[in-house]
Structure 1
Amino acid sequence: MSTFSKLLPSVKLISFKYLLRNAAYVIPMAIAIGSMVALFLWLLHWAISFRFTHPYLLYALPVAGVAIWYVYKAWGANAERGNNLIMDEIHTPGGGVPKRMAPLVLAATVITHLFGGSAGREGTAVQIGGSIAQFFSKLFKLNAIDTRIMLTAGIAAGFGAVFGTPLAGAIFALEVLTIGRIQYDALLACLVAAIVGDMTVSAWGIHHTAYHIDIIPKAVGYFTFDSILLLKVIIASVAFGLASRLFATAVHSVKATMTKLIKIEWLIPVIGGIIIIALTFINGKPDYLSLGVDAEYPGAITIPSAFANGGADTWSWLWKTIYTAVTLGTGFKGGEVTPLFYIGATLGNTLSLLMDAPVSLFAALGFIAVFAGATNTPLACTLMGVELFGGEYVLFFAVACFTAYYCSGSSGIYSAQRIAVPKTAVKS
């Protein structure tokens, strides 16, 4: 018997014990994250519904901004850095992720949406995941390597739970850290965490929005191929990538400009709130406030409405970009991903009419591709397309996400994201 054959049982036993040990840490952590995300989603739904019936709350958005600023100034410390802090801790362990990050961002995000700020929810879920993961790492006295895996799994649990896409959540947590490289040592932990987190949210009775793509008689599916439609998808995906780049640039630019021009910090959210109120007056409708998932009134432009003919205006995607850049760039809390879904779906709706293409398919492609370009996570977003819309058009999903990824520039919405392999070998 060879030496390898003799060692094989021992290697298998060690691997099995390691997997069991990781599961013992990850599963309770994911249940805690899923439970807190469920609470967050319930509170978020309540806040948005309450504002629908009390629209005058929008006028208090500047005051809400000051309250958020004060709370973070008094108790936030490094929690203000949000997702970027968690990513930096995974790359280079330092001071850790504070426990207060989870309740602070949860409350601040609910307040942002209660008063009409245009933001998302992924950032909050990821920060909840990172904060709770750090707590469990300290509780179990894990070493630096295991803590990094737990933090990565915390991202996966938060993301998978908030959107109901566990597979995409697991891959997102691995892919978002470094452009061009995925470290697979945390893959199983991320997958377990994302699945358990999603199951926990469902167990609490929280349901996610369902989307639907109309059946296309001749398309790129499992058995058929339409080259003209594929060409239209590629052209549209270039636009999706440019929209991703515009969004990331806008958010960073608003924040940098406000910080440079306004020296009194608490005035920044005040001005941001006033701008949002003014934009709503200019538009004459509240469609670009908050998440953009539920309709405030019949005929409102929402993400689901973008999947139908006439479900978006020509410039809905640009208005949402402006609203969200102002909201997040002036200190309000939330995430970028749901606004990116809105931008992508409404842009896809507009492009489908211009290119005589299937509306629901192009809305779905924009939904995932703009997100892919802004976060530099094309693989995770392709899988998200399959989880949300079905696998029949997976080739379209992949083409859209990877095309948008290459057209979105070298950076994205996360400043802590590192570049391992540049998108192109051409140096600019």
Structure 2
Amino acid sequence: MTELLARLKDWSYLRKWLVLGALIGVVAGLGAIAFIFALDGASKLLLETIGGYKPPLPVGEGNRLAAGSFARPWAIPLVVGFGGLVSGILVFGFAPEAEGHGTDAAIDAVHHNPRGIRVRVTLIKLFASAATIGSGGSAGREGPTAQISAGFGSFLARRLALSPEDSRIAVAVGIGSGIGAIFRAPLGGAVLGAEILYRDDLEPEALFPSLVASIVGFSIFGAVEGFDPIFGTLRTPQFDHPVQLFYYALLGIAAGLLGRLYARGFYGTVALRHKFPGPDMLKPAVAGVLVGLIGLAFPAALGTGYGWLQRGIHDGLPNTALWVILALPLVKILATSLSIGSGGSGGIFGPGMVIGGFVGLGLWRVLHGVAPGMPDAPAPFMVVGMIACFGSIAHAPLGLMLMVAEMTGSLALLPPAMIAIGLATLVVGDDTIYESQLRSRADSPAHRAAFGLPLLSAVLASDLMTKPRLVLSADVSVAEARDRLDASDVPGAPVVGADGEFVGVLLADGTQARGDVTAGAAADRSYPTVPSDRGLDFALDAMVSAGVGWVPVLNDNRLAGIVAMNEVIAGYQQALRRSLRLLADVSGSSVLVEATVGETSSFAGTTVADAPWPPGSFALSIDRRSQLIAPRPQTDIQSGDVVVAVVPAGVEAELRRRLNGHEMP
């Protein structure tokens, strides 16, 4: 079994992710079950038994619509504060990276360190979040489950020595499958895992693995907790009148404004917390006391708030004053900002949907009976509000639409939801509830080579690999290996077994105080490698992600050579020149010019936009001290630069003279 898993990384995309996706899905389902078990236990002990308050529950979690009164009002602030104290001690005492809502940390790991999520973080996140939410703190459940399954994805990446690309996919798959399982929304969770990483883009390579993992996680979670949608199957009147599109447009604008306030209020609280003196582990307790006091006036502020959403969907809360309904989104923003922004542990996804749901309920209460064509029940407005508010501020409109449809058992509201979330997204702009989101794949370290140096994929690693200066046998002692490394003056060398198979890389740092251990036993088996049939973009990604200057090239798990950073640069320059020549050949009326900028050239000291180009000319590349620059209008041109440009036939000599500094008087 171990050998099979070790070979997984070399399988084809579909085969590999059917297995890895299923493994991540199993952990996502089990992790969600474990968290629900811990959360239910904490809630029954802290909020219900000690605090004397039973919050309402949605259909899929007990269907308890009646909210109990506060048997011991004085205990509520103390209970919520105690939950904050436990959370603060666990987080800041054992795993500070478990602070906050978890999903943002997982997104950051996808972009920058997919192998770096510690197992301890997932365990601390589970118990700290259970203490926060179970005591009445305002938070959601998706952050802990996302971090649990993302942490397992990170563990798999380390254990199986997955490539940087596959490591990132594994963590992204964990995010989507964890959220999909806990919300009983596998399709929406799968799309969310690919969508939530960027503000204006998605990760297509993560879609199929996320779908596999989400379905597996949902199946395991549902087998224990049930498969019914959280809010039951929506049976109230749906979208059935064209004039309602105008009302849904108003809802989208309102949801976008509240979503923007949610993001700014939350991160404003985080910034304020850093300015306050005192131990960080005590701040969630102080914030918990404040949330408890707020909860006495507005019980919907306590816990997840899903039961109150269910009550609103059921009857619109007719006995609750309109001003209270209108205040609930603001109250939930304040309570969540205090509970999580103070350093507590929990998710922000769920509260975002509660805020949007109450925005929809408030607008329905204002318009119902006054505006023509309004639906008779508030459920449609609440569902669309949930989608528009959090879908816009999370920049994940498609995933949220699918998730809420699965959570309510209805697809009928997707048309008005599209209008609402579109307008909400325009209102939100670049604000986001996930600060680790990047704008697009072009901004991600994972794709920077592919987008910034697109021709790298056209050159195979096998085309430019070189013979390593030293190859170590797995059976030599570390002491002998150290001597050979010193004699060859290299920082490390590939290690191969007796059968010629690649074992790993032995670095000079790994040869210290090893005694009689063999090179094979001491070799770093997680050191990145590159298949011989992959492009240089893959090699560059591996080197940058691992912080190394060279990688072994393997052919069927046998050492074929090595590729170093200078070969990658030379390979790109080679591919660029070849492509430019092809471009010039295709365009019969243009020619390619390559010339060095002289010190007296009129080009020296100018920018590409201001340089005296002959009409119809444009720059293609600038080579500056072996650094290849893709020219932009604001790029400066210096003496000594080697400029490659396409010019109309007949003016190439003139441009060459201008670049060299030999202009005609």
TM class by shorter-chain length?
Answer: 0.7 to 0.9
List aligned pairs for 1:243-258, cutoff 5 A: 243-258=258-273
Q: Say yes or no: does 1:114 pair with 2:134.
A: yes
| Aligned twin of 2:316 | 309
| Aligned twin of 2:237 | 216
Structure 1 residue 231, shift from structure 2 partner? 0.6
From 335, 341, 347, the counterpart of 2:347:
335
Q: Say yes or no: does 1:318 pair with 2:330.
A: yes
User: Contact 1:42–1:206 at 8 Å: present in 2 too?
Assistant: no
List aligned pairs for 1:58-97, cutoff 5 A: 58-80=77-99, 82-93=102-113, 96-97=116-117
Instruction: Give the TM-score of the pair, scaled to structure 1.
Output: 0.86
User: Contact 2:193–2:206 at 8 Å: present in 1 too?
Assistant: no
| Aligned twin of 1:44 | 39
List aligned pairs for 1:192-211, cutoff 5 A: 192-206=212-226, 208-211=229-232
Q: Which whole-Å CA distance do the structure 2 matches of 1:328 and 1:386 have between them? A: 27
Q: Which whole-Å CA distance do the structure 2 matches of 1:350 and 1:361 have between them? A: 12
From 102, 115, 124, the counterpart of 2:122:
102
Q: For residues 385 and 118 of structure 1, do their structure 2 counterparts lie closer, same or farther at Cα, with a shift above 3 Å needed? A: closer
User: Contact 2:260–2:393 at 8 Å: present in 1 too?
Assistant: yes
From 8, 30, 37, the counterpart of 1:35:
30
Q: Which whole-Å CA distance do the structure 2 matches of 1:205 and 1:310 have between them? A: 28
User: Contact 1:117–1:290 at 8 Å: present in 2 too?
Assistant: yes
Structure 1 residue 105, shift from structure 2 partner? 0.7
Structure 1 residue 218, shift from structure 2 partner? 6.5
Q: For residues 196 and 39 of structure 1, do their structure 2 counterparts lie closer, same or farther at Cα, with a shift above 3 Å needed? A: same
Q: Say yes or no: does 1:233 pair with 2:228.
A: no
Q: Say yes or no: does 1:362 pair with 2:381.
A: yes
Query: 1:315 is paired with a residue of what secondary structure?
Result: helix
Q: For residues 303 and 335 of structure 1, do their structure 2 counterparts lie closer, same or farther at Cα, with a shift above 3 Å needed? A: same
Q: Which whole-Å CA distance do the structure 2 matches of 1:317 and 1:72 have between them? A: 28
Q: Which whole-Å CA distance do the structure 1 matches of 2:238 and 2:391 have between them? A: 27
Query: 1:24 is paired with a residue of what secondary structure?
Result: helix
Higher strand fraction (1 or 2): 2
User: Contact 1:385–1:397 at 8 Å: present in 2 too?
Assistant: no
Q: For residues 195 and 417 of structure 1, do their structure 2 counterparts lie closer, same or farther at Cα, with a shift above 3 Å needed? A: same
| Aligned twin of 2:306 | 293
Q: Say yes or no: does 1:420 pair with 2:440.
A: yes
From 400, 406, 427, the counterpart of 1:381:
400
Equivalent residues, number: 393
Q: For residues 353 and 183 of structure 1, do their structure 2 counterparts lie closer, same or farther at Cα, with a shift above 3 Å needed? A: same
The structure having more radius of gyration, on CA atoms, is 2
Q: Deviations over 1:219-240 (max 9, x none)?
A: 1xxxxxx331001100111000
Q: For residues 421 and 20 of structure 1, do their structure 2 counterparts lie closer, same or farther at Cα, with a shift above 3 Å needed? A: closer
Q: Which whole-Å CA distance do the structure 2 matches of 1:31 and 1:62 have between them? A: 34
| Aligned twin of 1:352 | 364
* Matched letter for residue 309 of structure 2: I
Structure 1 residue 187, shift from structure 2 partner? 1.2
Q: For residues 73 and 95 of structure 1, do their structure 2 counterparts lie closer, same or farther at Cα, with a shift above 3 Å needed? A: farther
Farther-moved stretch of structure 1 (101-110 vs 50-59)? 50-59
Q: Which whole-Å CA distance do the structure 2 matches of 1:108 and 1:215 have between them? A: 38
User: Contact 2:239–2:413 at 8 Å: present in 1 too?
Assistant: no
| Aligned twin of 1:12 | none
What are structure 2's unaligned runs of at least 5 residues?
A: 1-9, 52-74, 369-373, 443-665
List aligned pairs for 1:273-284, cutoff 5 A: 273-281=288-296, 283=297
Q: For residues 317 and 94 of structure 1, do their structure 2 counterparts lie closer, same or farther at Cα, with a shift above 3 Å needed? A: closer
Query: 1:153 is paired with a residue of what secondary structure?
Result: helix
Over the aligned positions, Cα root-mean-square deviation in angstroms equals: 2.3
Q: Deviations over 1:356-398 (max 9, x none)?
A: 2321100111122111122111111122233233122221122
Identity of aligned residues (%): 25
Q: Deviations over 1:240-266 (max 9, x none)?
A: 011111111111111111211334323
* Matched letter for residue 363 of structure 2: L
User: Contact 1:372–1:378 at 8 Å: present in 2 too?
Assistant: yes
Structure 1 residue 406, shift from structure 2 partner? 2.0
Q: Deviations over 1:61-84 (max 9, x none)?
A: 334323322222232043436323
Q: Which whole-Å CA distance do the structure 2 matches of 1:199 and 1:371 have between them? A: 26
| Aligned twin of 1:123 | 143
Structure 1 residue 18, shift from structure 2 partner? 2.8
Structure 1 residue 206, shift from structure 2 partner? 4.2
User: Contact 1:100–1:131 at 8 Å: present in 2 too?
Assistant: no
Q: Which whole-Å CA distance do the structure 2 matches of 1:16 and 1:25 have between them? A: 11
Farther-moved stretch of structure 1 (265-274 vs 189-198)? 265-274
| Aligned twin of 2:50 | 54
Q: Which whole-Å CA distance do the structure 1 matches of 2:280 and 2:31 have between them? A: 31
Return the structure number with greater relative CO, CA threshold 8 A, min gap 6.
Answer: 1
* Matched letter for residue 279 of structure 1: I
Q: Deviations over 1:126-154 (max 9, x none)?
A: 11111111112222221111111111111
Q: For residues 411 and 216 of structure 1, do their structure 2 counterparts lie closer, same or farther at Cα, with a shift above 3 Å needed? A: same
Higher helix fraction (1 or 2): 1
Q: Deviations over 1:106-128 (max 9, x none)?
A: 10011112221111111111111
